[in-house]
Amino acid sequence: MANGEGPLSGLKVVDLSRLAPGPFASMLLADLGADVVLVEAPQGAIQGMGSDEMDEAAEKRRAYNSLARNKRSIIVDLRQEEGRQIVHDLAKDADIFLEGFRPGVTDRLGVGYEAISKTNPKIVYASLSGYGQTGPYNHMVGHDINYISVGGALGQIGRAGQKPAIPANIVADFAGGGLMTAFSILAALQGVHTTGKGQHVDMGMADGVLYLLASQTGGVLAGGESPGRGDGMLTGARPFYDAYECADGKYLSLGSLEPQFYAALCETLDREDLKPHQHTPEKQAEIGEFLETTLKTKTRDEWFAIMKPIDICVAPVLSLEESLQDEQMLARNMVVEVEDEKLGTIKHVGIGPKFSGTPGKVHSTAPRRGQHTDEVLASIGRDASAVASLREAGTVGG
């Protein structure tokens, strides 16, 4: 059954995306109530999964795969005319169409924006790619590391005098890509309400990265220097905004930017003589050395227990496992339970936005490939005999 809860309840999404950014965008929509139908290829993998074989290990990967949760799966061969017609029939009453192929692929398959918009002029059609549909890079292959390079982020991540530090692939793939796409889709839907017309949303992940750096672009465009690695107050140039190793080898993060927070840090560590020197250039090395030495005298959690009640801006640097067990994350329902038909009750990451009236919900784990083929085809007028014929021809599967 389609999702029926959340602020996006009633919206229908046709999702042709494959790799992480697109599935994350549609996961965000599905978590908030949209009915997302994954259009899977006859040969290949479900969103974020490895293969078609569903042994015990594969079933576990499927069940714990957050990116495909709350969705329905149908297998369609877009190389066949009848397969393309199925996608057009799905698009007829859909609100959103999402694809993540290289520019031009969906046009060649007959399911590009021009073709789908003729079927449904009100549809919001989102194309998510590395560099967007236009420009000299638009057909280049790439991954997160490449998009954050072109988008201006990687060059400023890391320590001074060292090569760039490669972050987890959340900046381009998930923030500049998936999150920005979901945001843009909802903005375009508002446009449908005001104009009565759908439109094509062209989202390049490199564009999204540069957009995320909006607060820094003004200074550079005004003639200032580009931020470098480790030379900014927020990138390691000041000891009061940094991460420090503790006695147990774990790290504590300090963000004592404001004078009152820095003063509280000095008072807590019995170095009130350093309070007037938060920004004194010749004192930065001394402050840094003091913090490094002092914070190694207790464990991370001991320091956090001491500083937590004080306005210092402090937090433990947690592993992902620790974060999923952290009292704050648990109190905010960032780990939830969901029933899986194969594995029973399992846990998933919770939903970030909290809505007071129409909260989102994790109501189902990721589907098996083609699990909902018959159900979805029935919703667009294909009877059992027609579905059997389509399956025999290899047009659909599951």
Q: Name the catalytic one among 52, 143, 326, 374.
A: 143
Report whether 130 contacts 181 (CB < 8 A). Answer: no
The two tokens of residue 254 are 């300090």
Report whether 300 contacts 250 (CB < 8 A). Answer: yes
Report whether 5 contacts 41 (CB < 8 A). Answer: no
Interatomic CA distance for residues 359 and 354, integer angstroms: 6
Q: Name the catalytic one among 173, 202, 207, 242.
A: 173
Q: Is 173 an annotated catalytic residue?
A: yes
Interatomic CA distance for residues 318 and 253, integer angstroms: 10
Q: Is 348 an annotated catalytic residue?
A: no
Interatomic CA distance for residues 384 and 382, integer angstroms: 7
Neighbour-count burial of 379, counting CB atoms closer than 10 A to its CB (0-12 exposed, 13-18 middle, 19+ buried):
middle
- Beta strand 335-340 pairing with 344-349: antiparallel
> Which residues are the active-site residues?
143, 173
